[in-house]
Structures are given as C-alpha cells and as structure tokens.
Amino acid sequence: MPESNCPLVERIARVLAGAALSSNAEGSDPSAGDKVDAAWREHVNQALAVLHTAREPDEAMAAAGDVETWRNMVEAAIAQRVD
C-alpha cells in the first residue's frame, strides 16, 4: 500500500485551505498553490476537528475492517506533530 510522506493533519489542512482559496472550490484564485502553501497552518485546528470526528467509524466502515486498528491509526494522526 502506498504511504504519504506528509502527515494526515497537514494534508487535511491543505485541502481545507485549498477549498477556501482556490477557484476550483469556494475561493477565487485560479492558481492557489502558493497561497495554500502559506495558509494551510491556519487550518490545522479544523483538520484536527475532522480527525476527532473520524475516530469513530460508521457502520459501513466497521463492517469493512478492524475498528480498533482504524481508531489507532486516527489517534496516531491526531498525535502527530505538525510544524
């Protein structure tokens, strides 16, 4: 399975920053990459809130795999330091 070299909190924060800034989403910038690079840290708390919510799998997720492993993985993502 491929692994990302970027912490999950950062990846989620970048998605949230991109959604706010890019014209491909809710923003107005047609080329927001540099702005996302500068602003993603402002979205870390929102990213952590998403992860706190995602700790508990729904019924379909629980049926598809190991619930305890999922929780452990999400908890590890929450605990990971993002600079």
Contact 59, 67 (CB under 8 A): no
DSSP reduced 3-state for 29? strand
**pLDDT tens-digit profile of 44-54?**
999 999 999 99
- What tokens does 79 get? 């605990």
pLDDT bin (cut points 50, 70, 90) of residue 2 is confident
Confidence bin at 63 (pLDDT 50/70/90): very high
Residues belonging to the chain: 83
* pTM assigned to the model: 0.88
Listed in sequence order, the residues at least 6 apart from 8 whose beta carbon sits closer than 8 Å to its beta carbon are 51, 77, 80
